[in-house]
Amino acid sequence: MAFPDGFLWGAATAAYQIEGSPLADGAGASIWHRFCHTPGLVHGGDTGDVACDHYRRWPEDIALMRRLGLQSYRFSIAWGRVLPQGTGTANSAGLDFYERLVDQLLEAGIAPNATLYHWDLPAALDDRGGWLNRDSADWFAEYADLVFRRLDGRVKMWTTLNEPWVVMDGGYLSGALAPGHRNLFEAPIVAHNLLRAHGKAVQAYRASGAHRIGLVVNLEPKYPASDAPQDRVATRRAHAYMNRHFMDPVFRGRYDAVLVRMFGAAWPAFPASDLDLIRTPIDFLGINYYTRNVVRDDAGRFPLPVERPVQRGATYTETGWEVFPQGLLDTLNWVRTRYGNPPVYITENGAAFDDPPVAQGGAVHDALRTDYLRQHLRVLHRAIAEGCDLRGYYAWSLLDNLEWAHGYSKRFGLVHVDYRNQRRTLKDSGAWYARVIASNGQCL
């Protein structure tokens, strides 16, 4: 099932999850540095102090990308490396690191795809209110403009934010992610400022950039557990809260009325002009897809009354996510029909399984991951046939890495990382993915 000529095959990572050396060469601490160094918040007390040591081993990792035959590499830039205080004086050593990385990617024939924000807000800005402060949109635009002027042209694909929904829900509602708040009234303010920041960065790019910029969202299709009215209502609420929450303002210039009603008194009166900024047109949409959500009404849950009933006979990953490739097709067709079929890249798709240990002779027989990827890639081929403007795919992740509050306990990589000695081992799934890329999907 060959994919269209020019379909872009890649793999993805994020700065705090792989780089290590979070304070090296003048870098400023991020909220994730603080979160990891706060006892009890991250599995096993794990931190990003070393991670995959990518800050020092990046040439070796580019060699691995070449071995995989990657056509593109999605990575994120650590805001605090470039602007240690978040605004003001730039750190040339930080900019130099990303410039070297980009230049060597290009040398290797790998197109850089740079994410400006993958959750690692400079701690100095969190001390000034972080995403709760309306000024955060201007802070982000200043950072974005600095990086655009340094790297645009060599980087031709930019995304502003990675998964603003997770930043809001994890960082300000559940408290499971940095900065660990649990406040219903903060969440809509944070979501709105993230969207304003996105809009200002896109406008900054239009003023100085010459290539393409987009947004990365996590989308998770919602299916009612039964035909009972309360399950259908709960499903619509779950859909409003996760999927339409950011897609509607960015593509339609307004928030979903169901979402506004859900938050009730916690929903502020935002200036209408903000929505004009937020809907500044983008060149493509990045979708991170992992699983679906079967929804049963559970009125007691904060803030969203939904329960995730286990699906009999389904396969679940180590992060508890049901393997459900049909949900990817449903999601892509939903985006195609509701938002005018924008150019889409799957910017993350992958799974954590309990991989077997590295075998004698250096192999990791991670058949479950290969099967997960194969099922989802086959669905992409159908999505294209059904009219979705699907341009490319990035597997999550190039390397095993720091899985946020799970620490190093969950492995998503196409490449195994032995954290005791930083040895990289290509897993069977990575070797298989290299064959998929080489055949443009023909071998699927």
Ligand X SMILES: CO[C@H](O)c1c[n+]2c([nH]1)[C@H](O)[C@@H](O)[C@H](O)[C@H]2CO
Enumerate the active-site residues: 163, 348
171, amino acid identity = G
Place of tokens 């890329």: 437
Question: In the 8-state DSSP scheme, what is residue 264?
Answer: G
Spatial neighbors of 235 by CB under 8 A, at least 6 apart, are: 222, 223, 224, 295, 306
DSSP string, 39-65: TTSSGGG--TTTTT-HHHHHHHHHHHH
Q: Which residues pair with 249 in a beta bridge?
A: none
Q: Which residue is nearest to ligand X (CB)?
A: 218
Enumerate the H helices of 152-294 as residue ranges.
164-168, 186-208, 229-239, 245-252, 257-263, 272-278
CB of 13 to ligand X, least distance (A): 8
Which residues are at the interface with ligand X (CB under 6 A)?
Answer: 14, 17, 162-163, 166, 218, 288, 290, 348, 396, 403, 412
CB of 268 to ligand X, least distance (A): 26
| Most distant CA atoms of the chain, gap in Å | 62
The secondary element (H helix, E strand) that includes residue 66 is helix 54-68
CA distances, 58 to each of 8, 19, 306, 398 (Å): 22, 9, 42, 12
Place of tokens 């998770």: 220
CA distances, 192 to each of 71, 143, 351 (Å): 34, 19, 30
CB of 350 to ligand X, least distance (A): 7
Spatial neighbors of 76 by CB under 8 A, at least 6 apart, are: 13, 14, 15, 114, 115, 116, 117, 118, 120, 162
Rounded Cα–Cα distance for residues 65 and 163 (Å)? 24
